[in-house]
Structure 1
Amino acid sequence: MQLGVEMEFWVVDENGALCAGHDLIEHHDLAVPEFVESLVEVVTPPRGSPAGIAESLVDVLDTLLTHARETDRHLVPLGTPLTVCDSPVASDRGDLLERIYGDGLAVARNCAGTHVHFEQGNVARQLNLLTALDPALALVASSPFYEGERLANSSRAYAYRYRAGHEFGEYRDLWAYTDDPEEWERRLQWCYEDLRTMASNRGVSAEEFAAHFDPEDVVTTPVRLRRETPTVEWRSPDTTLPSHVVALLEDLAPLVARTADLPVTVGAPGVTNDEIRVPEYAELQQLSSTAIERGLDSPFVWKYLEAFDVDTTRYHPLSGQFYAGDTIAADRARRVRLEAARLLERDVDALHTALDRRAAFDSA
């Protein structure tokens, strides 16, 4: 099964303040702009293993980090910038989103995530399993602070799902299980038509809307079906250190691959030789909420993940490494960003070394 990853990173200056970073993407084909100036995105081509994903991430991040250092800038692997992001929107699509969503877009401007693409197989099974794996976001949560306030273990997920305005819930919330991918497509089409009406009511012409949106990318739900790629995209996790994402793939990719042979059924969560069992959707919603708010501090969450053979003891999310406190001041946030940037540089170096050792071992 082919995999692909997209990771978003904040760009900060030598003092830890958010700054423009889109010029960095000129140095690598696998770096692309995000819709605000202080975010850049790293993408990988399809790879056949987590190790292949690690190689691609190291390749592009090595380049970006080198050029960032030359201009006294750094990349930061945090799910939020900790305090308010006032970086300007930097794309026509972003401008349209501001016109449509208004204040509701502030949430997206303050969030950075990891998106994993799984090659399509049995799509209904993949959709349902990845929906059930939403609580695995707790394994890589990277920021408890949003706009200076401690919100949750994953403040990015909390803000996205609970602070973007009720009228946009259909576009961002976790969707229920489905046995019919065509039903999923119909729901996407409904969302597309509804958003087009909303855009028209806000003065966006039909031509403008069609130029920047299609049904496939009109929602930012934790799981998306991508026909063009074609993949099933899992968007639950925060952005974080690349090694944390690779570890996550090592646990989850083999499980998703098993959907080619095993049905996904509702029952007591776990994996047998005959099926993969996921909880009732109402129970899953409770699990996801707890994962967002408490992360691996909740036995409810880590026991659930271990039912899918995930060794939660090998995960040490960045979110749990912050100092205690209900708020974070701007000067403290700048220092934390710089510390997270140093962790990223060390993490990329360590991954590079591990890959070199593996290559030497394989060629021996």
Structure 2
Amino acid sequence: MQLGVEMEFWVVDEMGDLCAGHDLTEAHENAVPEFVESLVEITTPPRGSTAGIAESLTDVLDTLLRGARETNRRLVPLGTPLTANGSPVTSSRGDMLERIYGEGFEVAKNCAGTHVHFEQGNVARQLNLLTALDPALALVSSSPFYEGERLATSSRAYAYRYKAGHNFGKFRDLWEYTDDPDEWERRLQWLYEELRSMALNRGVSTEEYTDYFDPENVVMTPIRLRSETPTVEWRSPDTSLPSQVVTLLEDLAPLMAQTDDLPVEVGDPGVTNDAIGVPAYAELQQLSSAAIERGLTSPFVWKYLERYGIDTTRYHPLSGQFYAGDTIPEERARRVRLEAARLLERDVDALHTTVTARR
């Protein structure tokens, strides 16, 4: 199975303040600007193994970190910038989203995630298994703070799903299981038309809307179907340390590969010789809420993940390693960002050593 990863990182100056970073991406073809100036994204080409993903992540991050050091900047692997992000929107699509979403768009400006692409196989099974694995976001949660307040172990996921506004929930929520990928596509088409109506009511012309949106990119749900590659894209996790993302793939890729041979059925969670069991959707919603709010401190969550053969003791999410108050002032947030940046630099060095030893 071919795999791919996208990771977003905040850019800060030597004091820990968010700053412009899009110029850093000019040094590597697998780095691209994001829609706000303090956020950059790195991508990997399709690779056939987690070792290949580790190699690609190391390659692009080595380049970006070197460029950042030369200009007294750092990259920060946190799901949110901890306090409010005042960086301006710098893309035409971002401007369009801001016009449509209004204040609800502030959520997106304060979130950085990891997106994992799995080569499409039996798409219905893949969609349903990734839906059931939504609580695995707890393994790499990296920021409990959103706009200065402690929200949840994954404040990024909490904000995305619960703070964007009622009208936009359907564009961001976890969807129910499906037996029919065509039904999934029909729902996308329906949402595409609904968002177009909302856009028209906010003064966006039909021509502008169709220039920037299609049914594939109209939603920011935790799972998306991508036709160009084609892949199933899993968007539940925070951005985090690259070694943690590689470990996550080591656990998830073998599970996803089994969907070629085993049906995915509602029942007892876990893998047997006959099927991959997933919980009823109502139970899954409770698990996802616990994963977002409490992470691996919830026995409900870690026991569930271990039923899929995931050794949760291998994970040490960043979200539990920093400041422990209910609020975080800007001065403290700057120090935490710099601390997270140092962890990223050490992590990339260690990953580089591992990659080199494998060659």
Common fold by TM > 0.5: yes
1:264-311 CA-partner distances (Å, limit 9, x unpaired): 000010101111000000000000000000000000000000000000
- Alignment TM-score, normalising by the size of structure 2: 1.00
2:310 and 2:273 map into 1 onto residues whose CA distance is 17
Runs of 4+ in 1 over 4 A off after TM superposition: none
Q: Which residue of 1 aligns with 2:196?
A: 196
Q: Is 2:14 aligned against 1:27?
A: no
2:116 and 2:271 map into 1 onto residues whose CA distance is 22
Provide structure 1 residue ranges, at least 5 long, that are not aligned to the other structure: 360-364
Determine what percentage of the aligned residue pairs are the same residue.
81
Q: Which residue of 1 aligns with 2:243?
A: 243
Q: Which residue of 1 aligns with 2:10?
A: 10
Match for 1:69: what amino acid?
Answer: R
**Any residues of structure 2 matched to 1:254-273 within 5 Å, and which?**
254-273=254-273
RMSD: 0.4
The alignment partner of 2:219 has SS state of coil
Q: Which residue of 2 aligns with 1:134?
A: 134
Match for 1:177: what amino acid?
Answer: Y
Match for 2:240: what amino acid?
Answer: T
1:194-241 CA-partner distances (Å, limit 9, x unpaired): 001100110011111111111001000001111121000000000000
1:104 and 1:39 map into 2 onto residues whose CA distance is 18
1:72 and 1:33 map into 2 onto residues whose CA distance is 19
**Any residues of structure 2 matched to 1:129-168 within 5 Å, and which?**
129-168=129-168
1:306 and 1:22 map into 2 onto residues whose CA distance is 40
Deviation at 1:324, TM superposition (A): 1.7
Q: Which residue of 2 aligns with 1:349?
A: 349
Provide structure 2 residue ranges, at least 5 long, that are not aligned to the other structure: none
Q: Which residue of 1 aligns with 2:321?
A: 321
2:16 and 2:264 map into 1 onto residues whose CA distance is 45
2:51 and 2:298 map into 1 onto residues whose CA distance is 30
2:315 and 2:93 map into 1 onto residues whose CA distance is 36
1:50-101 CA-partner distances (Å, limit 9, x unpaired): 1100000000000000001110000000000000000000000000000000
Q: Which residue of 2 aligns with 1:114?
A: 114
Q: Which residue of 1 aligns with 2:72?
A: 72
Match for 2:112: what amino acid?
Answer: A
Deviation at 1:323, TM superposition (A): 2.5
1:46 and 1:355 map into 2 onto residues whose CA distance is 17
1:228 and 1:190 map into 2 onto residues whose CA distance is 20
The alignment partner of 1:217 has SS state of coil
**Any residues of structure 2 matched to 1:202-351 within 5 Å, and which?**
202-351=202-351
Match for 1:240: what amino acid?
Answer: S
Match for 2:276: what amino acid?
Answer: I
1:108-152 CA-partner distances (Å, limit 9, x unpaired): 000000000000000000000000000000000000000000000
1:183 and 1:239 map into 2 onto residues whose CA distance is 30
- Alignment TM-score, normalising by the size of structure 1: 0.98
2:85 and 2:49 map into 1 onto residues whose CA distance is 35
The alignment partner of 1:219 has SS state of coil
1:174 and 1:11 map into 2 onto residues whose CA distance is 29
1:232 and 1:91 map into 2 onto residues whose CA distance is 25
Match for 1:82: what amino acid?
Answer: L
2:8 and 2:79 map into 1 onto residues whose CA distance is 9
1:51 and 1:214 map into 2 onto residues whose CA distance is 34
2:205 and 2:26 map into 1 onto residues whose CA distance is 32
Q: Number of aligned pairs? A: 359
1:312 and 1:121 map into 2 onto residues whose CA distance is 27
1:185 and 1:332 map into 2 onto residues whose CA distance is 45
Q: Which residue of 2 aligns with 1:362?
A: none
The alignment partner of 2:216 has SS state of helix
The alignment partner of 1:277 has SS state of strand
8 Å CA contact 2:323, 2:336 repeated in 1:
no
The alignment partner of 2:6 has SS state of strand
2:293 and 2:214 map into 1 onto residues whose CA distance is 33
2:57 and 2:32 map into 1 onto residues whose CA distance is 13
2:34 and 2:218 map into 1 onto residues whose CA distance is 16
8 Å CA contact 2:112, 2:239 repeated in 1:
yes
1:59 and 1:208 map into 2 onto residues whose CA distance is 37
